[in-house]
Amino acid sequence: MGFVAPNVLAVLVFLLFPLGFSLYLSFHSWDLFRPMRAVGWGNYRQLFADPLFYIALRNTGVFTVATLAPTVVISLAVAAALNRKLRGIGVFRTLAFLPLVASTVAMAVVWRFLFTTDGGAVNLVLGRVGLGPVPWLGDPDWALLALSIVMVWKSLPFATVVLLAAMQGIPENLYEAAKIDGAGPLRRFGAITVPLIRGALSFVFVITIINSVQAFDQAYALTDGNGGPETGTFVLGIMLFQNAFRFYEIGYAAALAWVMFAMLLVLTLVQLWLARREPEDR
């Protein structure tokens, strides 16, 4: 019992108490300075009547979709490429995993310079192939795409690690048997690799969705925390930060946090249910 007690205490102090206190705050109005005032469901009613909430919800949905598909497809391709016994493959694996250890905010600042309309490296490359300069951070639609690119770049290493580990657990004799039957590389990948890493793929789906919905640091560094231009990158993470630490509406921000938690819980349960369905049920 003595060995378990410190861990239990840590869970109570750093997990359960903050969760319970944030739920308590969501039913109160508090600005950190004056005493709390109970408002019941007022914060939630105010949230669902706030047009900015639906703007943030729409932006977060588009951002999540724009991040999820490339992350899964590219990480799957990179993991398959790295799952080879080639000379010097360790160097390529190291290079592929470097973004995983880089500071998110620092890299977002670097990307901000890369996306500069005049003189940015991205537009310079586009100019070399005959494409005009793109207002990456000056246009609301392009800004959300730029944020998605940064998120994909940051998410790829972790997703690749998970998928690569799953691929390396597949017995080699399955591929050898498929080769004897005349199956080509693509056929083996679709018939053997993908079905056998379905659990890892489901995990990557869930983690990518959670990270996208909770995205804050990338958006903050790219837009100075304003969710701009206009409301182009005004995602739920930015809305939560502004209400909590700029407007000091702590209860309102807590209500938003619990709504985000409920959405993520539903999405995660649906994804896990789909992943655990038997093939004959599909």
pLDDT tens digits, one per residue of 202-215: 899 999 999 999 99
Residue 187 forms part of a structural domain: yes
In a domain, 38, yes or no: no
Q: Over the range 80-104, which residues count as b (16 or more CB within 10 Å of their CB) and which as e?
A: bebbeeeeeeeeebeebbeeeeeeb
Q: Is 3 a domain residue?
A: no
- Report the percentage of the chain scoring pLDDT > 90: 44
- Residue 61 neighbours by CB distance under 10 Å: 15
pLDDT tens sequence across 215-274:
998 888 888 778 888 888 999 999 999 999 999 999 999 999 999 999 999 988 888 787
Whether a cis peptide bond, with omega within 30° of 0, leads into 51 is: no
**Is residue 1, in this structure, part of any structural domain at all?**
no
Task: Using the predicted structure, report yes or no on whether residue 277 has a pLDDT greater than 70.
Answer: no
Whether 23 is in a domain gets the answer no
Q: What is the C-alpha end-to-end distance of the chain, expressed in Å?
A: 46
- C-alpha to C-alpha distance for 247 and 243, rounded to whole angstroms: 5
- Count of other CB atoms within 10 angstroms of residue 181: 9
197 in any annotated domain: yes
pLDDT value for 280: 46
Which element (helix H / strand E) includes 37? strand 37-38
- Decide if 32 is inside a domain: no
- Alpha-carbon distance of 38 to 197, in angstroms, equals 49
We report the CATH number of the domain holding residue 192 as 1.10.3720.10
* Per-chain mean pLDDT for the chain: 88
Contact of 271 with 205, CB cutoff 8 Å? yes
Predicted local confidence at residue 183, as pLDDT: 85
Burial of 73 (0-12, 13-18, 19+ CB in 10 A): exposed
Domain residues for the domain of 199 are: 50-277
Point out the least confidently predicted range of 49-53, 99-103, 235-239: 99-103
* Structural domain count of the chain: 1
**Is residue 234, in this structure, part of any structural domain at all?**
yes
